[in-house]
Amino acid sequence: MKSNLIVAKFWNPDTMMEALADIHHKGVPVYDCYTPFPVHGIEAYMNIKRTRLTIASFIYGCLGLGAALFLMAGAYGQWLYFDWWGLDIINWPMDIGGKPALAWVDFVPIGFELTVLFAAHGMVLTFLVVAKYYPGKEAKLLDDRQTDNVFVVAIDGDKIKAEKEDELMSVLREHGAFEVSKTA
């Protein structure tokens, strides 16, 4: 957690949003907000851009489809024997009930499943890496009720001129913050 933050706490997301709208209008940059649940519309006041995790998910999905085709065509088996361009399905075709070995329509279900598998797991893992979440990580909290019923707005004190600080803190109080303080 960054040092030197101006922290305002609210009981109510509506009042928090009003305060955010006002300080955003005044050009105050918001460091981050901490809320018990997602508050919609907050992104606009914090200049949060749309996440690129969706694009990542699409790329993982394509990789999954590729992996499925690679597996089903039997390229994998040939790779083990250093035949980089050979396909099991052509070199050693299996005759089961007279059906063609390389029947691409039959590859649709597994192609689809592995696309979903890679897209879902890849996206969630990327999220955990980007957001730096991992099992056992110590949570850095500004208020231990921010996961329960307190809505916290944090403003970077370094980006506020010293003489403007008191004014900002009183604006936050006027908007209904029940506690406004500064961290070390």
Partner 1 sequence: MHVESSVRQKLITNINEYGQITDDISRPIEAAPNKTWLLWTTISAIVMTIGFALIGWTIWEGIGVWGLNTEVGWGFDITNFVFWVGIGHAGTLISAVLLLFRQTWRNSINRSAEAMTIFAVLCAAIFPGIHAGRTWDLIYFGPIPNTRGTLWDNFNSPLMWDVFAISTYLTVSLVFWYLGMIPDFATLRDRFKRQGKEMASKAYGVASFGWEGSARNWSRFEVISLILAGLCTPLVLSVHSIVSMDFATSVVPGWHTTIFPPYFVAGAIFSGFGMVQTLLVIMRKVYKLENYITIEHMENMAKIVLATGSIVGLAYSTEFFIAWYSGSFFERYVFINRAFGDYWWAYFAMFSCNVITPQLYWSQKIRQNMTITFILSIFVNIGMWFERFVIIVTSLHHDFVPARWANYTPTFVEAGIFIGTFGLFFTCFFLFSKFLPTVNMFEVKTLLHHPKKPAGIPQGVKDEVSHSHH
Nearest distance from C-beta of residue 62 to partner 1, angstroms: 14
Nearest distance from C-beta of residue 151 to partner 1, angstroms: 9
Interface mask (CB under 8 A) for partner 1, residues 64-103, using x and -?
-------xx-x-xxx-xx------xx-xx-x-x--x-x-x
38-57 binders of partner 1 (CB under 8 A): 38-43, 46, 48, 50-51, 53-54, 57
19-23 contact pairs (CB < 8 A, 24+): 19/153, 19/171, 19/172, 19/175, 19/176, 19/177, 20/45, 20/46, 20/153, 21/45, 22/171, 22/175, 23/155, 23/168, 23/171, 23/172
Stretch that binds partner 1, among 21-29, 105-113, 160-168 (CB under 8 A): 105-113
In whole angstroms, what is the distance from residue 34 CA to residue 149 CA?
10
Nearest distance from C-beta of residue 134 to partner 1, angstroms: 6
Q: Are 174 and 182 contacting, i.e. CB atoms less than 8 angstroms apart?
A: no
141-160 binders of partner 1 (CB under 8 A): 141, 144-149
113-142 binders of partner 1 (CB under 8 A): 113-114, 116-117, 119-121, 123-124, 127-128, 130-141
Q: Does 34 bind partner 1 (CB under 8 A)?
A: yes
Give 94 or 162: the residue with its C-beta nearer to partner 1. 94
DSSP strand pairing (179-182 vs 151-156): unpaired
From 26, 29, 62, 109, residue interacting with partner 1 (rule: CB under 8 A): 109
**Residue 118: enclosing H or E segment and its boundaries?**
helix 108-130
Give 74 or 157: the residue with its C-beta nearer to partner 1. 74
Angle between helices 13-25 and 165-174 (to 10 degrees): 140
